[in-house]
Amino acid sequence: MDKKAIEYHVRGILEAIGENPDREGLLETPERVARMLEEVLEGIQYSNHDIAQMFGKTFNVPNNDTVVMRDITVFSYCEHHFALMYDMKVNVAYIPHGKVLGLSKIARICDMAAKRLQLQERLGNDIAEIISEAAGTPNVAVAISGSHSCMTARGIKNVSAQTITETFRGQFRTDNDLKSLVRFK
């Protein structure tokens, strides 16, 4: 990430909206924005495969019982408006094939996939793809519920709107009981 270029352009944006980037409150804003973007968009520098490798620590298990993790909190930024997607909860389920992911790795996968300019629909697919590769199973489900400031703070300004997306792979595509494990009630 080119932080110097971000600083330059943030300064230009401040000028374009009629602000004085040299006034006291804005003197360090370009640098702060560059550091913030480096942090919140960290996932841009990694492919889904890279993330699966980073957080693919698994443990052998003798059974293939379904693993479900609910209410993983993430946030992201909409690629259309750079608007915050917030109050996001991710539910993940998968059926292991002899090995399970470390539980913290599931949350880390969700977090890193969200640290990109995203669409909620793509985020669910990215998480499912990463979990599938990391856990070595085609049987993965991801459900995401979230608010989008491009809907709540601008445009229609519908503050109560929630977006729910569901991604089903493998056995989750056809088994309604399995689907119910991740669905929001």
Strands 67-78 and 58-60: unpaired
Residue 134 is encoded by which pair of tokens? 């990391």
- 79 catalytic residue (yes or no): yes
- One of 15, 28, 39, 79 is an active-site residue; which one? 79
Dist CA 102 CA 54 (whole Å): 12
| Number of neighbouring beta carbons within 10 Å of residue 79 | 12
Please tell me which residue in 9, 19, 31, 150 is annotated as part of the active site.
150
Tell me phi and psi for residue 138, to 5 degrees: -85, -5
Given 7, 110, 120, 129, the catalytic residue? 120
Q: How far is CA 61 from CA 64, 99, 103, in A?
A: 8, 5, 14
Q: 104 and 66 in contact (C-beta within 8 Å)?
A: no
Active-site position among 19, 81, 166, 171:
81
Residue 37 CB contacts under 8 Å (≥ 6 apart), including other chains: 1, 6
Is residue 80 part of the annotated active site? The answer reads yes
Determine the angle formed by the axes of helices 103-114 and 120-135, rounding to 10 degrees: 140
166 belongs to the catalytic site: no
Catalytic status, residue 78: yes
Annotation says 49 is catalytic: no
Q: Annotated catalytic residue: which of 78, 133, 166, 171?
A: 78
Element containing residue 89 per DSSP (H, E): strand 84-94
Q: Catalytic residue numbers?
A: 78-81, 120, 148, 150
